[in-house]
Amino acid sequence: MSTSAGRRVWMLAWPIILSNITVPLLGLVDTAVVGHLPESRYLAGVTLGATLFSFLYWGFGFLRMGTTGLTSQAAGREDDTTVRNLLGQALFMAGVIGMLLIVFSQPLIALGLWLLDGSAEATRLAEEYAHIRILSAPAVLANYAILGWFLGQQNSRVTLILMITTNSVNIALDLWFVVGLGMTSDGVSWATAIADYTALALGLWLVKRQLVSLQGRFLRDRLLKLLAYRELLQVNGHLFVRTLGLLFAMAFFTSQGASQGDVILAANAVLLQFVMLTSYGLDGFAHAVEALSGRAIGSRDWPAFTAFVRAATRFSLVTAGAAMLVFALAGEWLISLLTDLDTVRAAAAEFLPWMVLMPALAVWSYLLDGVFIGATATREMRNSIFAGLAVYLPAWWLTQHIGAGLGNHGLWLSFTLFTLVRSATLGAYYRHYRHKYWNAATAT
C-alpha cells in the first residue's frame, strides 16, 4: 500500500507544483512590461493594484478548499449526484459573491488602497487598474470552484492546464496591449481580466466533458434552496475566518516591518520570497492529501487514509529538508539574486537564520491543512489560527517592549511562534481525531 500511496500522492502533486512555479513568471512579465514604460508611476500603480487583488481573492480561497473536501468525500461514497450538485452550488456561490464584489467595488477598492497607503499618483493609477480588474471577479471565483471540484475527483492536471492557459493569454495580451498598442497600467488590467474569462471558458468546457462520465443528475432543490447550502456554507465560513486570520497575521508582519524603516521592510519582503518558494512544493503535497484523504474518509477506508497521510508526510518532510539545506548553504546567494541593494542584502542576511528554521515548523501546517480540508474539519483549522494569534501578538509586544527590545528579530521570533503554535494545534487535533474517529490504528 505504501508504494502505491506514494505514487498516487506524487501523481496528484506534480501538476500542482508545476502550476505553482508558473505563477511568478506572470509577475515577472507584468513587471518587465510596465517597468519599461517611461515613468515609474505605472509600475507602482500596477504593483499596488495587484497586491490589493492578491489579498482580496485570497480571502475567497474557501471556494476552492471547501469544494475539494466535500467533493472528495462524495466521490469516496460514489455519490455522483452530490458530486454534480456540489459543483452547481459552488459555481452559484462564486457567481453571487463575484457580482457583489462588482456592485460594491467602489468602497472596497477605496478602502483597500487606503490601507495600502501608496503615493497619490500610484493610488490613482491603481484605482484605474482595480476598477477594470474587478470585472473578472465572477470568473476568478468560478475558477476556484472548478479547480476545487476537479481536485476533489483526484484530477490535478486541470490545475496545470488552466494555469498555463491563464498565464499564456495574460502574457500575450500584456505584450500586445502595452508594447503593441501603447496602453499603460490599464492594458495590464484588461489583459488579466480577459485571461480570467478565457480560463473560465476552458474550465467550463472541461467540466462539461467530466460530467459525461458521472452518473446522477442535478437536483433543483439542491441548487435553489438555501438550506441545501448549509454544509457548504458552514465549511466555507470556517475557512473564510481562517483565511482572514492568516491575512491579518501577514499584514501585521508587513506593517511592523515597515515601521522599522524601508531597509527592514525590503529585507523582510525578500525573505518572504523564500517562504513562497517553499510553499510551491509543500502546497502540491497538501493539495494531493486533500483529495486522497477526503476520498478515503468518504469510503471509510482507514488503511488507505493512513497510507496517504504517511506518503504525503514523507514527501513534505523531504521538501522542507531540501529547502532548509538550500537556504542554509545558498541563502545569501539567493538574496543577491533578489536585490542589488547592499543595505538590503546585509539586513536580509542578518535575519536569514529564521528562514532556515521556518520550513521545519511550517511543513506541518501545510500538510495538516490538507488533511483537515479533506476531512472538512475546517473549524479546527480556524481554531489553529486563533491559537497562533493568541501567541503571536503577545510575543511581538514582549519582544518590542521588554528591555532594549529585539526589533526585527523579535518580529521574526513572534511570526515563527505563530507558525509553531498553529502547527502544534493542528497536530493535537489530528492525534485526537485519528484515534477517536479516523481509526488509523487499523492500518498499522
Summarize pLDDT for 337-369 with one digit per residue, the tens.
877 778 888 999 999 999 999 999 999 999 999
Q: Which segments of 38-79 does DSSP mark as H helices, in order?
A: 41-58, 62-76
Q: What is the Cα–Cα distance from 373 to 70, expressed in whole angstroms? A: 9
pLDDT confidence of residue 256: 87
Q: What is the Cα–Cα distance from 391 to 281, expressed in whole angstroms? A: 27
- pTM beyond 0.85: yes
Virtual CA dihedral for 194, 195, 201, 204, nearest 10 degrees? -130
pLDDT confidence of residue 139: 96
Helix, strand, coil percent values for the chain (each to nearest 5) = 90, 0, 10
Query: What's the grid cell of residue 139?
Result: 470568473
CA 113-117-120 angle, to 5 degrees, is: 85
pLDDT confidence of residue 441: 45
Domain boundaries, given as residue ranges, for the chain: 1-21+230-444, 37-224
Task: Concatenate the DSSP letters of all residues of 356-411 into one string.
Answer: HHHHHHHHHHHHHHHHHHHTT-HHHHHHHHHHHHHHHHHHHHHHHHSTT--HHHHH
Q: What is the Cα–Cα distance from 429 to 384, expressed in whole angstroms? A: 9
Question: For residues 166 and 29, is the Cβ–Cβ distance under 8 A?
Answer: no
Q: What's the DSSP call for residue 226?
A: G
Question: For residues 363 and 317, is the Cβ–Cβ distance under 8 A?
Answer: yes
* Spatial CB neighbours of 263, under 8 Å, sequence gap ≥ 6: 343, 344, 347
Q: What percent of the chain has pLDDT over 70?
A: 92
Other Cβ atoms closer than 10 A to 107: 8
Q: For the chain, which ranges sit under pLDDT 50?
A: 440-444
pLDDT confidence of residue 30: 66
Q: What is the Cα–Cα distance from 410 to 412, expressed in whole angstroms? A: 5
